[in-house]
Chains A and B, each alone.
Chain A
Amino acid sequence: MADPDPLEAAADPEALGRAAQAFVRARDDLRPADAIPWLLALAVPFLLSQECAFGTQILIMVLFALSLDFILGYAGIVTLGQAAYFGLGAYTAGLLSARLGWNEPISGLLAAGLVAAAAGAVSGWILLRYRHLALLMLTIAISTILYELANTWSWLTGGFDGLMGISISPLLGVFDWDLEGRTSYLYALVVSMLCFLALRRITVSPFGQTLHGIRENTARMRAIGVPVLGRLTLAYTISAGIAGIGGGLLAQANSFITMQVLSFDTSAAVLTMLVLGGTGRLYGAMVGAVVYMLAADRLARLSPEYWELGVGLLLVFVVLVCPDGLFGVVDRLRRRGWRWRQ
């Protein structure tokens, strides 16, 4: 990491510009360490091949949590309705296959992302005029409306019984879906990595900085002439699209979805994951989703009835001991190391 040293820069404009660029690059450029989580994830089908099915579920939740972090951690949009877009994506991919016989996975996934993004654009443009509690309530309202629609149109969605009959053709026409779930896992891994890279690119773009600014001080952003509603709507649209791709993956990987994907519980769970891992740094979403899924799985084996109590205690512990989330601890250590080297 190149450490910008303002004192060295003196008053020479060239040197000042270089110091500023060094600062930007230290802040935004990818580091070798950024590859670590993906290398670990890539090792799973080779070292823990019996865990591929569970690993796929984790990757899907990582992707879903990333979509939430992008709006909550970067733009400061508080939402308890992210399941609306996750569920829309899941039903889009699911219905394409189960009702229309469209079984090609990649186009199904793109359709899931596009439908969810379109819904995000329209709903965002309306509800992002509000903030705080009003916004929170509106996000809950939108996901509840979709949930009830899925229930009302049970002839289409399968209602409480769930949507059955989803099947997908071999990936790229070549790779068959094996019983171990290795293909599914690698498919989910590639999709979530591509989405992560896209999100990361956006977070370090000028637009990403604009979102920081809006989160920190909306009044000032207005005063420097930024069209706040438009910028927030774009962020919300991107986030909804990513959530929709996550939902589409779920439908394709499990060949089955229930109305649970649209439920308040799902929105609350993904928010819990993000708070566990820490907001505003993407890696928090990864760590949080992995920890949540592992904890839920282990605890549910211990006690199928009371596992949520365990997750709740974990959440309380994290919020009290490391309010920046689990990944916040890593961040703090890294910053301390940086200071020390200076």
Chain B
Amino acid sequence: MSGTGVPVLLSTTGLSMSFGPFQVIRGVDLALRRGCRHALIGPNGAGKTTLVNLLTGVLRPGRGTIAIGGKDVTRLSERERVRHGLARTFQINQLFRTLTAFENVSLAVSRRLGRDGVLWRSRKAERRTAAEAMGVLERVGLTDDAFRPVRELSYGSQRLLEIALALAMDPAILLMDEPAAGVPLGERDRVLDTVDALGPELAILIIEHDMDLIFRFASEITVLVDGAVLRHGTPDEVARDERVRDAYLGVARDG
């Protein structure tokens, strides 16, 4: 997993943030290496989604720094961080609901190709965007649904499209906020298999509540409790840690 020779793509040092008097993130240090499968777990309200929003630039930290590929991006906007190879998926679907799956992905592809502000059509560019968008849909197994509007897709397909929109940006780092959340049992395998099959060179941070998915997928785990890192280690180390069991695993088992 995290051999020291593998370059760190995304890192934070002493990241902290408050909403008014409430400190929601407390001095988080995190390092995502190329190819990592890093799970971020913790009870509800631990600050997982807030941390993702800090990483992507939706929120600004009070203290601490964020670096992508060694470059300090703490003060850069969401858009500039995307350009540095950072992509995310959302816990609650953020799709273009009246557009088809193909059109959804095309929007992201045309942004990546720098054509989202172009005022004229070009057959050549159109062909390239279409081919790349279909390629992304194929990677998540959605080609059969390509020309159906999002609102007609099954929930599992919508979750896959959520991933496709991030993949269309051709990221180096992918942050996934509960990709399997709410997916009915019959469609779960499709989503999990897709997550499993993501490019081995991608650095992936995944927030998940589902322990099966985490232990199947993750090579390292960070446990976040009350906005601070309680434990970081391999799945085995984390599973054996009594504090983690008390704070989270036990709770999850009981509840």
Contact = CB atoms under 8 A, between A and B. Distances in A.
Given A220-B94, A226-B79, A227-B79, A11 B111 contact: no
A213 B138 CA distance: 22
A209 interface: yes
A16 B138 contact: yes
A28 B126 CA distance: 11
Interface stretch (B60-68, B116-124, B220-228, B234-242): B116-124
B147 A23 contact: yes
Contacts of B115: 206
Contact of A21 (B108, B116, B130): B130
Contacts of B168: 224
Contacts of B102: 20, 23
B83 A207 contact: no
A16 B143 contact: yes
Nearest to B123: A21
A21 B146 contact: no
A327 to B, nearest CB: 17
B117 A210 contact: yes
A255 B110 CA distance: 46
B123 to A, nearest CB: 9
A21 B107 contact: no
Given A17-B130, A17-B131, A205-B118, 16 more contacts: A6-B143, A6-B145, A7-B144, A16-B131, A19-B134, A19-B147, A23-B100, A206-B125, A210-B110, A213-B99, A217-B94, A217-B97, A222-B58, A223-B78, A223-B88, A223-B90
Nearest to B146: A6
B143 A225 contact: no
21 contacts: A6-B144, A6-B145, A9-B143, A16-B143, A20-B133, A21-B130, A23-B100, A23-B102, A201-B121, A205-B119, A206-B118, A206-B125, A209-B106, A212-B103, A219-B90, A220-B96, A222-B78, A224-B169, A225-B78, A225-B79, A225-B83
Nearest to B98: A216
Give 8 nearest A-B pairs by CB, closest first.
A225-B82, A20-B130, A216-B96, A17-B131, A16-B134, A220-B94, A210-B116, A206-B115
Interface string B141-155: 001111100000000
A216 B138 contact: no
Given A13-B138, A226-B111, A207 B117 contact: yes
Contacts of A202: 119
A222 B169 CA distance: 12
Interface residues of B, number: 50
Given A20-B134, A224-B111, A212 B117 contact: no
A141 interface: no
A234 interface: yes
B56 interface: yes
Given A4-B147, A17-B131, A206 B117 contact: yes
Interface of A: 4, 6-7, 9, 11, 13, 16-17, 19-21, 23-24, 28, 201-202, 204-207, 209-210, 212-213, 216-217, 219-227, 230-231, 234
Nearest to B86: A225
Interface in B189-226: none
Contacts of B82: 223-225
B67 to A, nearest CB: 19
A13 B139 CA distance: 11
B95 interface: yes
Interface of B: 56, 58, 78-79, 82-83, 87-88, 90, 94-100, 102-103, 106-108, 110-112, 115-121, 125-127, 129-131, 133-135, 137-138, 143-147, 165, 168-169
Contacts of A227: 79, 117
B79 A13 contact: no
A165 to B, nearest CB: 38
A205 B125 CA distance: 11
Contacts of A223: 56, 78, 82, 87-88, 90, 94
Contacts of B145: 6
Given A20-B131, A21-B127, A206-B110, A220 B95 contact: yes
Name, among B79, B82, B90, the residue most crowded by chain A CB atoms within 10 Å (CB to CB).
Answer: B79
A204 B123 CA distance: 12
Contact of A17 (B90, B118, B134, B165): B134
A198 to B, nearest CB: 9
Contacts of A221: 107
Contacts of A220: 90, 94-96, 165
A209 B58 CA distance: 24
Contacts of A19: 134, 146-147
Nearest to B57: A222
A190 B253 CA distance: 72
Contacts of B138: 11, 13, 16
Contacts of A222: 58, 78-79
A329 B16 CA distance: 55
A28 B122 CA distance: 12
B116 A231 contact: yes
Given A204-B121, A205-B119, A207-B117, A213 B107 contact: yes
Contacts of B131: 13, 16-17, 20
A16 B111 CA distance: 21
